[in-house]
Amino acid sequence: MKRHFDADLDDLRGSLLRMGGLCEEMVQSAVKVVIERDESRLAAVQEWERQVNALHIEIDDVCLRLIALHQPAAGDLRLIAAAIKINSDLERVGDQAVNIAETGVYLCKEPKIKLGDIPRMVQVAVGMLKDSLDAFARGNVDLAREVIKRDDEEDRLKSQTFNELVYLMQSDASAIQRGMGIILIARNLERIADHATNIAEDVIFMVLGKDIRHSADPHPASGMEGADAKLKEG
């Protein structure tokens, strides 16, 4: 039974990472609709969304079955609890990617407009998502903490883009609809970074057993402390 349980946990990790990989592809392709003005990518984003949604249901079912059949404790239970929350965040990342692609299709039909810091926001958001999933795969608290720190940069870039587009819309009324589209995309990217931050926080909970949400100090322990905690549990 223990061997089967461990194998199921490995499969759970694999499914989450596969879902995360799909979400990364979705975000990158969705933004190419905007930056490269390639609306043909919308169909691929929508297909990936169907796959993400299917994995969302499948992973939740696996987590509930593992809890019901094995009544896990300590670290294993934290892993499953974190997986449930990460699963939800990844599904929402997929939704944000679809929103970006659909807004991008509208912008493709309109004259070009300044993108502000959108290209940099993409790099930060996708990097945060990738690193948060890597931290989950390796149980790396230090990497999770770095992801959380980078959320401030995404917030700053969103504010800069907002200010730049508002100034443009005030000076050119014909740019209002397009400017609002870019602002919405910036908001979508900021939300993706927020979901990556949530995943990183779940990694810290999974490894250390500490819930740092709403904490004044989001970096309560080092990776070595996480390793020590795991050794004590073992």
pTM of the model: 0.88
- Collapsing DSSP to helix, strand or coil, 224 comes out as helix
Alpha-carbon gap, residue 109 to 165, rounded angstroms: 19
Q: What is the domain extent for residue 188? A: 2-233
- Collapsing DSSP to helix, strand or coil, 192 comes out as helix
3-state secondary structure 86-147: HHHHHHHHHHHHHHHHHHHHHHHCCCCCCCCCHHHHHHHHHHHHHHHHHHHHHCCHHHHHHH
- Provide the domain count of the chain: 1
> Is the Cβ–Cβ distance between 121 and 223 less than 8 Å?
no
Of 121, 139, 145, the closest CA to residue 200 belongs to 145
Per-residue pLDDT tens over the stretch 30-82? 999 999 999 999 999 999 999 999 999 999 999 999 999 888 888 899 999 99
pLDDT at residue number 214: 75
CB atoms within 10 A of CB 147: 26
pLDDT at residue number 68: 92
DSSP designation for 218: S
pLDDT at residue number 227: 37
Question: Residue 159 to residues 54, 116, 121, 154, 169: CA-CA distances in angstroms?
Answer: 34, 10, 11, 9, 15
Per-residue pLDDT tens over the stretch 177-234? 999 999 999 999 999 999 999 999 999 999 998 878 777 554 444 443 443 333 333 3
Q: Which of 7-11, 21-25, 26-30, 208-212 has the lowest mean pLDDT?
A: 208-212
Q: How high does pLDDT run on average in the chain?
A: 90
What length is written for the chain? 234
Per-residue pLDDT tens over the stretch 129-140? 999 999 999 999
Per-residue pLDDT tens over the stretch 103-135? 999 999 999 999 999 999 999 999 999 999 999
- What is the average pLDDT across 13-34? 97
pLDDT at residue number 190: 98
Indicate the burial class of 111 (C-beta count within 10 angstroms; 0-12, 13-18, 19 or more): exposed
pLDDT at residue number 213: 79
Residue 98 or residue 71, greater confidence:
98
Alpha-carbon gap, residue 125 to 210, rounded angstroms: 25
Read off the CATH number of the domain in which 108 is found: 1.20.58.220
